[in-house]
Amino acid sequence: MAASSEGDARRALVGAYREVVDLGLTELSSGNLSVRFGDGMLISPTGASGESISEDSLVYIGSEDSWDPGQKPSSEWQLHARIYRGSAATQAVVHTHSDYCVAVACHSKPLPGFHYMVGAFGGDDVPCVPYNTFGSDELARDVADALKTRSACLMSNHGATARGGNLSAAVKLAHRLEISCRHYVLARALGEPRHLTPEEWSEFHRRFGNTGYGRPAS
């Protein structure tokens, strides 16, 4: 549900930022969050932390990719802007460097379909986009492309990004991806775990689609 006023949207975004910190998904100033607002988005400022984030510090970036020159949005603002342009239903984006997502992403490989909840992100695995410098056009493009059909992706040698139909859903997906990556790292201690078969995935997505539970915004 879209926030009814800019004040509501700013309060909600600060609350979500602190929730991501409380969940342990962001430490120091590694994460950034945004919410669609008006013709653009509200996004956390560069260098934000759980202590420093405030409603006034959030930056509004309009449809022309412009903002108040006195403010400094997150260095990943292009990544957020491209995701909103590529997915009309997306209302919120969460980018983190959470521990287990980073651990898996540093292998530059997708999170495989080793557990049925991997399917909660819209496919049979969670893709990992190639490494590019933080804040670059290339990284923003690759993440936005991956998130056209998935609700989350890993970013090689970097972290993860999730999108949702509201802030709460995007935070939950970022948390869920961290849990799935943790399970994979634990399972890998005994060797590569069994992956679900194509038939098992078909059955999963048939059931999952019927419940609508956690489906990615399209």
CA 137/CA 82 separation, integer angstroms: 9
Choices 56-64, 67-75, 115-123, 156-164 (CB under 5 A): range interacting with Zn ion: 156-164
What is the nearest approach in angstroms of Zn ion to the Cβ of residue 76? 6
Q: Assess whether 76 carries a catalytic annotation.
A: yes
Per-residue x/- mask for Zn ion, residues 176 to 205, rule CB under 5 A?
------------------------------
CA 91/CA 103 separation, integer angstroms: 28
Closest CA to 151 of 135, 130, 133, 175: 175
Q: SS3 helix, strand, coil % of the chain, rounded to 5? A: 40, 15, 45
Residue 14 or 143: the one with the smaller Cβ distance to Zn ion is 143
Residue 9 or 155: the one with the smaller Cβ distance to Zn ion is 155
Give the pair of three-digit tokens for residue 50. 């759980």
What is the nearest approach in angstroms of Zn ion to the Cβ of residue 143? 10
- In contact, 153 and 127? CB cutoff 8 Å: yes
Residue 3 or 147: the one with the smaller Cβ distance to Zn ion is 147
Active-site pick, 55, 76, 138, 199: 76
Give the pair of three-digit tokens for residue 215. 């489906």
Residue nearest to Zn ion (CB): 159
Enumerate the active-site residues.
76
- The residues binding Zn ion (CB under 5 A) are 159
